[in-house]
């Protein structure tokens, strides 16, 4: 996988406002937030997108979602939040590194996009 802005954040080559980190993932506040709370949860494993997930990644993907929900509680999003995973350019993915968006802090409309 080619180096991305997210891999540079994992390697601490680019600073980020980190909200959570463990051996499997890193979560940080988005520099261009689309909601009052906008955190990205990324795996430390190099996976380009949802389309590249394997059955062996089931535990990792579950971990990313659990981390996102724990962060939502910690960040005071008790009135609701949204988890978004974009896949491919038509799906709105702009960085070729799998990531989960945690969005909240305001009423989120539907349909998105």
For residue 47, give the DSSP letter.
-
| Active-site annotation holder among 24, 63, 99, 101 | 99
Whose CA is closest to 82, among 98, 63, 105?
105
Give the C-alpha separation, 58 to 40, whole Å: 19
1 with 46: CB under 8 angstroms?
A: yes
Whose CA is closest to 41, among 28, 31, 32, 59?
28
- Is 99 one of the annotated active-site residues of the chain? yes
Task: Say if residue 11 is preceded by a cis peptide, omega within 30 of 0.
Answer: no
Which residues belong to the active site? 99
């Amino acid at each position: 996988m080619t180096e991305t802005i997210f891999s540079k954040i994992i390697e601490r080559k680019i600073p980020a406002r980190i909200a959570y980190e463990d051996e499997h993932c890193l979560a940080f506040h988005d520099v261009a937030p689309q909601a009052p709370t906008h955190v990205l949860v990324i795996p430390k494993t190099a996976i380009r997108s949802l389309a590249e997930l394997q059955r062996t990644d089931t535990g990792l993907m579950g971990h990313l979602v659990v981390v996102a929900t724990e962060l939502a509680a910690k960040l005071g999003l008790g009135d609701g939040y949204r988890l978004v995973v974009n896949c491919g350019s038509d799906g709105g993915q702009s960085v070729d590194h799998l990531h989960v968006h945690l969005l909240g802090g305001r009423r989120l409309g539907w349909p998105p996009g």
